[in-house]
Amino acid sequence: MVIEMVGEGKILKITTKAKRAFQNIMSQDPNIIKENDEFEFQVYKHDWKISWEKGNRAVDLAEGIKDEGYYTVSIELCFYCIERCFESWIMKKKRTKGFRAKHGDVFDLAASHNLITEKCAIGLRTLWDNYRASQYYRPYVPTKKSAERMIELARTVSEFIDERL
């Protein structure tokens, strides 16, 4: 049996195709989307709402894949959801079109805007620093229970933010 290796040329070719696909959507102009393609969800006028939608879709996906045994990815999606929820609130409050914070810094920003207390920000930051980063970059293997707890946290944060948007 001969195993054919994938060459770097194939990676470069597909990278170029991916770049073109992203370039076509950067303006969020529905007229640019070609036949046989579609947006993930309705294009919103407000960037904060896009961030909000992405975060909530992530936790929905986390719930589904957790039941298939994908605990690491489920947890990653929960942290993504939590960050996007806080970012959406900050974006709406500041009336900004874009927002980027380093992972974990969004909790401190939420506290600085009086959305959450410093104690809550420290708790979330510690969770991110000690568990997300350590678990992801180390050989630790998460459990179903840890994924379930993160889904519970992500949904609770989402509800908390939703009540304040």
User: From CA 9, how far away is CA 21, in angstroms rounded?
Assistant: 19
User: From CA 53, how far away is CA 57, in angstroms rounded?
Assistant: 6
User: From CA 162, how far away is CA 68, in angstroms rounded?
Assistant: 28
pLDDT of residue 165: 87
> Where do the domains of the chain lie, and which CATH numbers do they carry?
47-162 (1.20.120.330)
User: From CA 80, how far away is CA 154, in angstroms rounded?
Assistant: 9
Q: How many residues does the chain have?
A: 165
Q: What are phi and psi of 8, to 5 degrees?
A: -60, -30
Per-residue pLDDT reduced to its tens digit, 96-128: 766 666 767 889 999 999 999 999 999 999 888
- Return the minimum-mean-pLDDT range out of 9-13, 37-41, 68-72: 37-41
Per-residue pLDDT reduced to its tens digit, 49-96: 888 898 999 999 999 999 999 998 999 999 999 999 999 999 898 877
What percent of the chain is helix, strand and coil (3-state, nearest 5)?
Answer: 70, 0, 30
Give the pTM: 0.79
